[in-house]
């Protein structure tokens, strides 16, 4: 069991899923309430990482982070080194990779809030943003937990994007799934088995949290 | 447009709007123009008549296609001036049909919700006063799911009123309540409005509520105001068939004026193409003109022998064609020379008279039970 890779992966997943709460909520808000006719294009873009091969996503992220892209140059001028093959680069790649797993549960739970509550809130003098904070967010707790947990679990197990963007640098970008791959490559099956089992148990626990949180989403609602 | 801004208190709602909106039978135009003063104004009409759409426009939850909405002389919407005040800045109380209590907040938090701008202490004082006025103090710490239907209605009303709105919109707030609960809630609402004197627009499709509440009634049909006035004028002698149907006239007949008896204040009408003649109250009409006559099924009497010594002027022989019991009312269809009357009676009366299909009966119609309407 490679604890260095394990803790690196957990740290990555925790950072990514926390950032995705901050990034995902505004995106989900916009996707839920916007009446823009081309909204579906953004919906499709957000969902892309679900269907795209991780290597494809990873390739584009690598290009975008490299020193030939504006982003890569800007980062280089700021820090003196490139984003590719660093932990920060890994975070950016994982944010994109796990985005739909946060945004979609968020948007679904925002959309499930009874619209008459929003209308009542407006008639009681609350702006749309105040209504969102005081009515929509508290009633979307289950969706927020789901989005956080799913993006956490999804980041935990990523392989392709990490390999493309981060390479395989111990202590910097070697995550747990790459570690398992390495161990299998060197025929170290018992160690691979151990690590795989840990990943399996964690994933199961996270999904249990998701389904537990969604068990009675309307337990306090009057519409049962 | 004249307004009453010269008076110190000009609590009124002025609406002149047009809006195209979809309903199950396609789309049609809401096209209304009215002014509601302080007190109860009932919006009466069948479902789909546009009542809720109208309230939504006033509250700012949906935009009219064009027109003007003003409360107390203050423009909230004016398509000419391109003015459209956001719903949350309008200060109009709105109680929705499903009440829309916030499920994650206690009753007290629900009621205090609209007092955002006040200090915590003031919020508490104001909402406690409201809890007292609506007799729901015992519910303060409960969530909506733990509160019974009638009490939930009180919480929703208290929540809207505590903000001291400039006007109040109520979308069938009593629909689900039994009669005693209804009347006590209405009492509390009236008491509140004696102090505040705001216009209350009250949507219902229940004719009884119109009489119980209304200072003024506006009848909507397919998006258009078809009648307006005091409930007794509009509902008791409905001059329009839509109003008649809504206010419960089971019998509506085409009639031809046969003769005018000016001295007696009555006139004779023939119903439909049949041979039945009715004596009705006199209205401004010419002999030979066509009218409609509405009669409530509950205003008719049945006799099994030809009655004598009655004050009622119309005694019509007929035969029972159908007899059915609905709830505690027995509905009898009686064929009187080609014209069918629906008569309502109690099951006890049916049994006492031993009514049955084919039985010969006499239908008794008082002159003043006949309501004349225009075509």
Per-residue pLDDT, B276: 86
CB A61 within 8 A of CB A165: yes
Summarize pLDDT for B252-290 with one digit per residue, the tens. Answer: 788 889 999 988 889 999 988 778 888 988 887 788 888
Q: Does one domain contain both B33 and B176? A: yes
The answer to whether the CB atoms of B100 and A135 lie below 8 A apart is no
CB of B137 within 8 Å of a chain A CB? The answer is: no
Per-residue pLDDT, B208: 65
Per-residue pLDDT, B162: 93
Sign, CA torsion B82/B88/B92/B94: positive
The answer to whether the CB atoms of B88 and A224 lie below 8 A apart is no
Residue of A nearest to B143 (CA): A220
Q: Which domains does chain A have, with CATH numbers?
A: 3-34+42-48+55-213 (1.10.3720.10)
- Taking contacts as CB-CB distances below 8 angstroms, the residues of chain A near B93 are 123
Ramachandran angles phi, psi of A167, nearest 5°: 75, -140
CB of B173 within 8 Å of a chain A CB? The answer is: no
Query: Residue B300 domain-assigned?
Result: yes
What is the number of other CB atoms lying within 10 angstroms of the CB of residue B145? 15
The answer to whether the CB atoms of A134 and B113 lie below 8 A apart is yes
- Average pLDDT, integer, range B239-261: 76
Residue A52: pLDDT over 70:
yes
Summarize pLDDT for A104-132 with one digit per residue, the tens. Answer: 999 999 999 999 999 999 999 999 999 99
Q: Residue B142 and residue B120: Cα distance in Å, rounded?
A: 20
What is the side-by-side strand order in the sheet with B74-78?
B83-84, B74-78, B66-71, B12-23, B26-37, B224-229, B216-221, B39-44, B199-204, B167-171, B92-95
Per-residue pLDDT, B237: 56
Of B96, B114, B143, the CB nearest to A125: B114
Query: Residue B101 domain-assigned?
Result: no
Q: Which two tokens stand for residue A17?
A: 């899923």
Q: Does one domain contain both B169 and B32? A: yes
Query: Residue B131 domain-assigned?
Result: no
* Domain termination residue (choose one: B218, B246, B274): B246
Of A114, A124, A224, the CB nearest to B163: A124
Query: Residue B132 domain-assigned?
Result: no
**Mind telling me how many Å the CA of A219 is from chain B's nearest CA?**
9
Of B59, B98, B104, the CB nearest to A138: B104
Q: Does one domain contain both B234 and B262? A: no
CB of B60 within 8 Å of a chain A CB? The answer is: yes
Ramachandran angles phi, psi of A159, nearest 5°: -135, -60
Residue B374: pLDDT over 60:
no
Instruction: Give me chain A's average pLDDT, please.
Output: 88
Strand partners, B18: B31, B66
Q: Does one domain contain both B236 and B268? A: no
Residue A220: pLDDT over 80:
no
Q: Residue B51 and residue B62: Cα distance in Å, rounded?
A: 13
Lowest mean pLDDT among A122-126, B33-37, B365-369: B365-369
Query: Residue B176 domain-assigned?
Result: yes
Sign, CA torsion B3/B5/B7/B12: positive
The answer to whether the CB atoms of A120 and B100 lie below 8 A apart is yes
CB of A220 within 8 Å of a chain B CB? The answer is: yes
Sign, CA torsion A43/A47/A53/A56: positive
Summarize pLDDT for A81-103 with one digit per residue, the tens. Answer: 878 888 888 999 999 999 999 99
Pick the most confident of A172-181, B34-43, B199-208: B34-43
**Mind telling me how many Å the CA of B5 is from chain A's nearest CA?**
25
Q: Does one domain contain both B232 and B260? A: no
CB of A224 within 8 Å of a chain B CB? The answer is: yes
* Domain termination residue (choose one: B246, B276, B307): B246
Query: Residue B7 domain-assigned?
Result: no
Lowest mean pLDDT among A16-20, B18-22, B51-55, B104-108: B18-22
- Taking contacts as CB-CB distances below 8 angstroms, the residues of chain A near B61 are 119, 122-123
CB of A130 within 8 Å of a chain B CB? The answer is: yes
CB B113 within 8 A of CB B104: no
Residue B232: pLDDT over 80:
no
Q: Does one domain contain both B365 and B241? A: no
Residue of A nearest to B162 (CA): A124
Single pTM value for the model:
0.73
CB of B152 within 8 Å of a chain A CB? The answer is: yes
Residue B3: pLDDT over 80:
no
Q: Does one domain contain both B86 and B206? A: yes
Strand partners, B12: B37
Q: Does one domain contain both B287 and B369? A: yes
Query: Residue B188 domain-assigned?
Result: yes
CB of B163 within 8 Å of a chain A CB? The answer is: yes
Query: Residue B103 domain-assigned?
Result: no
* Domain termination residue (choose one: B201, B231, B246): B246
Domain containing B328 equals 251-373
Summarize pLDDT for B36-64 with one digit per residue, the tens. Answer: 999 899 998 877 788 889 999 999 999 99
| Predicted confidence band of residue A216 (pLDDT cuts 50, 70, 90) | low
Per-residue pLDDT, B313: 80
What is the domain-level CATH number for residue B277?
Answer: 2.40.50.100
**Mind telling me how many Å the CA of B89 is from chain A's nearest CA?**
6
Nearest to B307 by CA among B365, B364, B357: B364
* Phi-psi region at B359: left, alpha or beta (left = phi > 0; alpha = psi -120 to 50): beta
What is the domain-level CATH number for residue B29?
Answer: 3.40.50.300
Q: Which two tokens stand for residue B250?
A: 């089971």
Summarize pLDDT for B160-197 with one digit per residue, the tens. Answer: 999 999 999 999 877 777 767 777 888 888 888 888 89
**What ipTM does the predicted assembly reach?**
0.80
CB A28 within 8 A of CB A195: no
Q: Does one domain contain both B266 and B187? A: no
Q: Does one domain contain both B44 and B187? A: yes
Ramachandran angles phi, psi of A205, nearest 5°: -60, -45
| Predicted confidence band of residue A223 (pLDDT cuts 50, 70, 90) | very low
Of A117, A125, A218, the CB nearest to B102: A117
Which B residues in the span 303-362 are in contact with A, Cβ-Cβ below 8 Å? none
Of A125, A127, A128, the CB nearest to B163: A125
**Mind telling me how many Å the CA of B218 is from chain A's nearest CA?**
24
Summarize pLDDT for B83-98 with one digit per residue, the tens. Answer: 999 999 999 999 998 8
Mutate to test the interface with B, among A119, A124, A126 (most CBs of B within 10 A): A124
Q: Does one domain contain both B266 and B233? A: no
Number of domains into which chain B is organized: 2
Residue of B nearest to A116 (CA): B100
The answer to whether the CB atoms of B87 and A119 lie below 8 A apart is yes
Q: Does one domain contain both B229 and B283? A: no
Residue of B nearest to A123 (CA): B88
């Amino acid at each position: 069991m490679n604890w260095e890779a394990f803790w690196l992966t957990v740290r990555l997943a925790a950072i990514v899923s926390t950032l995705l709460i901050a990034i995902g909520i505004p995106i989900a808000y916009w996707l839920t309430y916007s009446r823009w006719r081309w909204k579906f294009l953004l919906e499709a873009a957000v969902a892309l990482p679900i269907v795209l091969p991780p290597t494809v996503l990873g390739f584009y992220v690598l290009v975008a982070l490299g020193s030939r892209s504006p982003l890569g140059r800007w980062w280089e001028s700021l820090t003196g080194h490139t984003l590719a093959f660093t932990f920060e680069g890994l975070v950016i790649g994982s944010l994109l990779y796990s985005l739909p797993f946060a945004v979609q549960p968020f948007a679904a739970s925002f959309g499930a809030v009874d619209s008459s509550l929003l209308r009542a809130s407006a008639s009681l003098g609350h702006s749309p943003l105040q209504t969102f904070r005081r009515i929509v967010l508290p009633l979307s707790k289950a969706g927020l937990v789901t989005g956080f947990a799913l993006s956490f679990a999804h980041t935990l197990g990523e392989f392709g994007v990490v390999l493309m963007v981060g390479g395989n640098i111990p202590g910097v970008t070697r995550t747990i799934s790459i570690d398992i791959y390495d161990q299998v490559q060197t025929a170290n099956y018992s160690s691979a088995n151990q690590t795989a089992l840990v990943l399996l148990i964690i994933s199961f626990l996270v999904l249990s949290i998701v389904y537990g949180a969604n068990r009675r989403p309307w337990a306090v609602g009057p519409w049962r | 447009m004249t307004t009453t801004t010269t008076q110190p208190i000009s609590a009124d709602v002025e609406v002149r709007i047009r809006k195209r909106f979809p309903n199950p039978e396609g789309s049609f135009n809401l096209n209304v123009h009215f002014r509601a003063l302080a007190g109860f104004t009932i919006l009466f009409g069948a479902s789909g008549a546009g009542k809720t759409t109208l309230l939504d426009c006033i509250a700012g939850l949906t935009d009219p296609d064009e027109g003007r909405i003003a409360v107390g002389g203050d423009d909230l919407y004016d398509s000419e001036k391109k003015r459209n005040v956001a719903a949350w800045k309008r200060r109009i109380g709105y109680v929705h049909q499903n009440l829309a209590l916030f499920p994650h907040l206690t009753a007290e938090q629900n009621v205090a919700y609209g007092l955002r701008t006040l200090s915590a202490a003031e919020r508490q004082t104001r909402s406690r006063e409201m809890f007292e006025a609506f007799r729901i103090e015992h519910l303060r710490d409960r969530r909506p799911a733990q509160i019974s239907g009638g009490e939930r209605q009180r919480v929703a009303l208290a929540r809207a009123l505590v903000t001291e709105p400039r006007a109040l919109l109520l979308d069938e707030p009593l629909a689900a309540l039994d009669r005693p609960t209804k009347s006590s809630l209405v009492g509390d609402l009236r008491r509140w409005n004696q102090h505040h004197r705001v216009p209350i627009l009250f949507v219902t499709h229940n004719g009884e509520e119109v009489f119980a509440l209304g200072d003024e009634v506006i009848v909507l049909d397919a998006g258009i105001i078809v009648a307006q006035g005091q409930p007794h004028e509009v509902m008791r002698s409905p001059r329009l068939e839509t109003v008649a149907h809504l206010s419960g006239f089971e019998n509506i007949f085409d009639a031809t004026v046969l003769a005018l008896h000016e001295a007696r204040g009555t006139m004779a009408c023939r119903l439909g193409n049949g041979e039945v003649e009715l004596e009705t109250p006199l209205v401004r009409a010419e002999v030979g003109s066509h009218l409609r006559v509405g009669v409530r099924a509950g205003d008719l009497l049945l006799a099994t022998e030809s009655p004598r010594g009655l004050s009622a002027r119309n005694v019509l022989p007929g035969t029972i064609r159908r007899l059915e019991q609905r709830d505690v009312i027995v509905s009898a269809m009686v064929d009187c020379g080609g014209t069918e009357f629906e008569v309502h009676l109690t099951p006890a009366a049916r049994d006492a008279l031993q009514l049955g299909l084919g039985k010969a009966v006499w239908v008794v119609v008082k002159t003043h039970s006949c309501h004349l309407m225009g075509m």
